[in-house]
Amino acid sequence: MLSGLPQASGGVDMVEKYYVWEIISYAWTEIGIEDAECRQLVQKGNISAHDLKRVDGIIFRDVCASFAFDTFLIFPLMLWMIMPDWGYDESYLKKRMERWYARPYWLHFLNPMRCLGYPLAVLMALKYRSMLRRMVLTSLDT
């Protein structure tokens, strides 16, 4: 299903990161994601409570930073039409991840629009971060 993704920096398999990217990317869609679908993605990604610190790193370091440029275009420039309705296509999201991890991290921030969009991207992602965490922690109860 997600074969062909290379290793990300730090030796973490990108397949492991994909589900975090998918859940959080719903912040940049018009419809968003429901609890049941989030729970399914958490289970598919085998995300557990001991992964939450690393998940936060993926969210804030990678996903928010990757979508910061889009966020800058969406809010200050009012380009709402760049947001998909239902979610990003798997192949698009995989290619986006590959491009993101292929470059040195600092190089992404040479674009000032990414720096300006990052704080808003974090704010947009917080809802889905808390949803992901809630699904992980409630799965411990069952």
**Torsion-angle region of residue 4: left (phi > 0), alpha (psi -120 to 50) or beta?**
left
Percent of the chain with pLDDT over 70: 85
Across 3-31, average pLDDT: 73
Q: Which helix (H) or strand (E) holds 62?
A: none
Q: Residue 8: what pLDDT? A: 45
| Tokens at 30, concatenated | 């018009």
Alpha-helix residue ranges (DSSP H) falling in 64-111: 64-74, 90-102, 105-108
Please state, as a whole number, how many other Cβ atoms lie within 10 Å of the Cβ of residue 67. Answer: 26
Q: Where do the domains of the chain lie? A: 12-141
pLDDT digits (tens, 9 = 90+) for 75-102: 765 566 667 777 899 999 999 999 999 9
pTM, 2 dp: 0.84
CA neighbor of 118 nearest in space, from 128, 129, 108: 108
Across 98-121, average pLDDT: 94
Q: Residue 79: what pLDDT? A: 61
**Residue 4 pLDDT exceeds 60:** no
Q: Residue 9: what pLDDT? A: 45
**Residue 27 pLDDT exceeds 90:** yes
Cβ neighbors of 14 (< 8 A, separation 6 or more) are 2, 5, 6, 7, 8, 97, 98, 101
Is the CA virtual torsion 28, 112, 78, 96 positive or negative? negative
**Residue 114 pLDDT exceeds 50:** yes
